Amino acid sequence: MSPSRLPGSRERDWENGSNASSPASVPEYTGPRLYKEPSAKSNKFIIHNALSHCCLAGKVNEPQKNRILEEIEKSKANHFLILFRDSSCQFRALYTLSGETEELSRLAGYGPRTVTPAMVEGIYKYNSDRKRFTQIPAKTMSMSVDAFTIQGHLWQSKKPTTPKKGSGTPK
């Protein structure tokens, strides 16, 4: 409520040309609710925006992005975290944070099934204005964290495999 709308205020209401003397003289808005109050308990919308505008933006990433967003909608979790390959912020997986155990569980993507706080190397926050992630100087996971990286040695390196040949040559 602005000061001109408070009871007892005798300022002129320029919108409708009358003196606003009571809240009753201001009609109550009954139209559709345009602003949705962000939930302090969930970062679902932040992660949705980060995936759509930053991590998996573009037509080429659309199938993967849609699969991940579907998993988010199905999940009953409130807090989601993105796993990056390294500081270049390349998307690898989506995790959910368990508040009781501080353990992260993989929801979708490629990475360890569970991540403990000791495995975390870097912590990031999504800046929705700039549509990018910035590293934050924190060491512990909290509800304000949107993404993380794990230590390099935890990534499994894929060894090139060649098909095994039989003991003899076909005749």
Determine contact, residues 116/103, Cβ cutoff 8 Å: yes
Average pLDDT over residues 107-123: 92
pLDDT band at residue 33 using 50, 70 and 90 as cut-offs: low
Q: Is the pLDDT of residue 142 over 70?
A: yes
Mean pLDDT for the chain? 79
| Mean per-residue pLDDT, 160-164 | 58
Mean of the pLDDT values across residues 59-79? 92
The pLDDT of residue 100 is above 50? yes
Q: Taking 50 as the threshold, does the pLDDT of residue 39 lie above it?
A: no
Say if pTM beats, i.e. exceeds, 0.75. no
| Model confidence at 1: pLDDT above 90 | no
Predicted local distance difference test score (pLDDT) of residue 46: 93
| The pLDDT of residue 28 is above 60 | yes
| Higher pLDDT among residues 153 and 167, named by residue | 153
What is the pLDDT at residue 161? 59
Compute the distance between CA of residue 50 and CA of residue 65 in angstroms, rounded to an integer: 11
